[in-house]
Amino acid sequence: MSLLDEVTYSQDKQLRARATVKADNPFLVDGHLPIWVGIEYMAQAVAAYAGLDALKKGEEVKLGFLVGTRKYKSQGTKLAIGSKIKISIEESLWGENGLGAFQCELQGEDPSGHRCTAQASLNVYQPNSIEDIIKGGM
């Protein structure tokens, strides 16, 4: 499942992406997207960042996991179908052990001009291989 429409910028440990809330979005509640779903948009932007970084290095794109989030703050509660969303992420930390942290921001505006925003720090894990996860190691 990909909720992002496009990556608009990727450079210097940063990525920006855009998305539109569509009628087939699996997270809709009564025709609206709850702002807490912003975590998923942020996580997908981090995944796009990691994938593009791997490709730039000539490496294979790897599976990654959202471990958790801290300091999730939002203004507004929901966005309507047709809302435009901008997601910005910046790498704070990326360790050789596969653990990373990103500062993320989401800005959404629906067709009537109603706005919602969200900010969070996301913690992620990207193992060297899926076998590492199956064996229970990091």
What are the tens digits of pLDDT across the range 63-113? Answer: 999 999 999 999 999 999 999 999 999 999 999 898 999 999 999 999 899
Point out which residues pair with 73 in neighbouring strands.
Answer: 119
Mean pLDDT across 14-33: 97
- Does residue 95 lie within any of the structural domains? yes
Q: What is the mean pLDDT of the chain?
A: 93
Give per-residue pLDDT as tens, 49-68: 999 999 999 999 999 999 99
Question: What pLDDT score does 10 carry?
Answer: 96
Residues 6+ apart with CB under 8 A from 18: 4, 5, 6, 8, 84, 85, 86, 87
CATH code of 86's domain:
3.10.129.10
Domain span at residue 70 reads: 6-134
1 in a domain, yes or no?
no
Could you give the 3-state DSSP secondary structure of residue 110? coil
DSSP 3-state of 50: helix
| pLDDT bucket at 131, cuts 50 / 70 / 90 | confident
CA distance 65 to 99: 10
Structure tokens at 66: 């959202």
The pLDDT-based confidence of 138 (bands split at 50, 70, 90) is: low
Q: Look at the chain and report how many structural domains it folds into.
A: 1
